[in-house]
Amino acid sequence: MTATVEHSNGTAAPAAFGYVAGSAPADATAGERVITYSEAVREAMGQAMAADDRVVLLGEDVGVYGGAFGVSGDLHGRFGGERVRDTPISELGIVGAGVGMALSGLLPIVEIQFSDFTCQAMDQIVNQAAKIHFMLGGAAHVPLVLRAPGGSGTGAAGQHSQSLEAWFAHTPGLKVVMPSNAADAKGLLLSAIDDPDPVVVLEHKLLYKTSGPVPVEPVRVPIGKAAVPRRGTDLTMVATGVMVSRCLEAAARLEADGVSASVVDVRTLTPFDAETVLGAIDETGRALLVQEAPRHVGFMSEVAARIAESESLYRLLAPVKRLCGLDTPIPYAPQLERSVVPQVDDVVAAARALAVVG
């Protein structure tokens, strides 16, 4: 599971909805080095905090402990407890506090230890943060960043392993990103901090320790742009989160068999970059949609729907194929846990089958 460089060359092009970063971007190819995904997240936060006193981080154990997954690391040492603020175990309270801070001149980043605990804070995320700008007729906005790791693979079982992106993507007023590699982890987070609207950044536990080249400078990856880290001719894999690297690995293996696959990294679920995603599907006429979350009413349902209601439908050479997590909670036992979400072998098998249909 290696992160790739091809799709990490984000530039601070205007994001959707007209929000433009205030300065020209640094050149993305200059000054890269290989760091981990979690270092990249930390670097983004550190650079933003150094540059702007309004940026603050709060969450459970983000201080001396350095974060449940070690992501905040030394930020507490660098910026102190006022700006890197440990909180009690009160997800609803701290997301709400983030909303209030965002309404009052700060740029808060709230870390939720596991994305599963957003359940505790759904009112503040959905009924407050997402809707305030709209309900107030534009009189206020909520520049809140919510960071939370999702996903399975660590044996943490049903309440600590969910992939909940579909809920957030279905909530008008939220922007939702899922960085799949270190460079995007940094660049998308910088864009999220920049963004005047609430942005949910869904990181992935298994990716934290993966590495990739990341620009030294605070280079934003625009919210609203998908990436195409690999182009092939026989089928197009569309993936989110940890599934992007699985698809890339599968694509590499398939190449040996003479099957040539494109891989699209959705990156931004809302706003969704239909142009890039459908364009890449049109090129091959076969779509394999891969997500970790359960299939039923998941994000890939939306991608399939976009195909079904567009001209892309006429370019399909085979029915769309979704490869998703089973419609079950995530079990504890490693052998069961692996069996309920797509693995590289599953992607290879599904791709092979799809490549010959029709």
Partner 1 sequence: MTELAEAPAASDAGAADPRWAREALLTMYRIRRFEEAVDDLFARGMMHGTMHLSIGQEASATGVCAALAEGDLIASTHRGHGHCIAKGADLLPMMAELLAKDSGYCRGRGGSMHIADVAKGNLGANGIVGGGIPIAVGSALAQKLRGTGAVVVCFFGDGATNEGAFHEAANLAAIWQLPVVLVCENNKYGMSFSTEKSMHVATVAERAAAYGFPGVRVDGNDVEAVFAAATEAVARARSGGGPTLLETMTYRWKGHSKSDKNLYRTREEIEQWRADDPIADFEAKILDAGSLSVEDLEAVRTQARDEVRDAVRRSMQAPDADPRAFLADPAAAVFAAPLGSHVAGAPAVEPHGLGTALDATEESK
Ligand X SMILES: Cc1ncc(C[n+]2csc(CCOP(=O)(O)OP(=O)(O)O)c2C)c(N)n1
Residues annotated as catalytic are 160
Of 89, 135, 305, 333, the one binding ligand X by CB under 6 A: 89
Dihedral class, residue 167 (left if φ above 0, else alpha if ψ from -120 to 50, else beta): alpha
Residue 19 binds ligand X (CB under 6 A): no
Length of the chain: 358
Residues 6+ apart with CB under 8 A from 52: 107
Cβ 325 vs Cβ 292: under 8 Å: yes
Task: Answer positive or negative: Cα dihedral of 294, 299, 302, 306.
Answer: negative
Chosen from partner 1, a copy of itself, ligand X, none, partner binding at 148 (C-beta under 5 to 8 Å by type): none
Tell the smallest beta-carbon distance from residue 100 to a copy of itself (Å): 17
Q: Are 222 and 191 in contact (CB under 8 A)?
A: yes
Residue 59 half-sphere exposure toward CB, CA atoms < 13 A: 30
Question: Binding to ligand X by residue 310, rule CB under 6 A?
Answer: no
Smallest separation (angstroms) from a copy of itself to the CB of 66: 26
| Cβ distance to a copy of itself smaller for residue 241 or 298 | 298
Interface stretch with ligand X, choices 113-121, 205-213, 263-271, 350-358 (CB under 6 A) = 113-121
Which residues between 184 and 223 bind partner 1 (CB under 8 A)? 190, 193-194, 196-197, 217-218
Half-sphere exposure of 62 (CA within 13 A, CB side): 30
> Counting contacts by CB under 8 A, is residue 327 touching a copy of itself?
yes
Q: Which is closer to partner 1, CB of 260 or CB of 343?
A: 343
* Closer by beta carbon to a copy of itself, 44 or else 350: 350
Which tokens go with 297?
A: 């009413």
| 69, 79, 208, 272: which one binds a copy of itself (CB under 8 A) | 272
Tokens 């040539």 sit at which residue? 260
Q: How are beta strands 235-239 and 84-86 bridged, if at all?
A: unpaired
Give the residue with the Cβ less far from a copy of itself, 63 or 149: 149
CB of 302 vs partner 1, minimal distance in Å: 17
Q: Identify the residue among 233, 332, 345, 358 touching partner 1 (CB under 8 A).
A: 332
Beta strand residue intervals within 142-284, DSSP E: 145-150, 175-177, 199-204, 211-215, 227-230, 235-239, 261-265, 268-270
DSSP state of 7: T
Q: Phi and psi (nearest 5°) for 137?
A: 65, 25
Of residues 157, 92, 159, the one with CA closest to residue 128: 92
Q: Which of residues 28-67 bind ligand X (CB under 6 A)?
A: 60
Q: Is 170 in the site for a copy of itself (CB under 8 A)?
A: yes
The residue from 22, 33, 104, 311 that contacts a copy of itself (CB under 8 A) is: 311
Residue 23 found at the interface with partner 1 (CB under 8 A): yes
Under rule CB under 8 A, residue 57 binds a copy of itself: no
Q: Is 86 in the site for partner 1 (CB under 8 A)?
A: yes
Q: What residue type is 36 in one-letter code?
A: T
Q: Are 197 and 143 in contact (CB under 8 A)?
A: yes
User: Which of 103, 274, 317, 318 forms a contact with partner 1 (CB under 8 A)?
Assistant: 103
Instruction: Check binding of 113 to ligand X (CB under 6 A).
Output: yes
C-alpha to C-alpha distance for 296 and 302, rounded to whole angstroms = 11
Question: Could you tell me the smallest distance in angstroms from the CB atom of residue 295 to a copy of itself?
Answer: 8
List Cβ neighbours of 180 (8 Å cut-off, separation of 6 or more): 3, 204, 207, 239, 240, 241, 242, 243, 244, 245, 265, 267
Q: Which does 100 bind (CB under 5 to 8 A by kind): partner 1, ligand X, a copy of itself, none?
A: partner 1
- What's the closest the beta carbon of residue 231 comes to partner 1, in angstroms? 30
Contacts to a copy of itself by CB under 8 A:
116-117, 119-120, 122-123, 125-127, 130-131, 134-135, 157-159, 166-167, 169-170, 172-173, 269-270, 272, 293-294, 296-302, 304-305, 307-311, 313-314, 316, 319-322, 326-329, 331
Contacts to ligand X by CB under 6 A:
60, 89, 91, 113, 117, 120
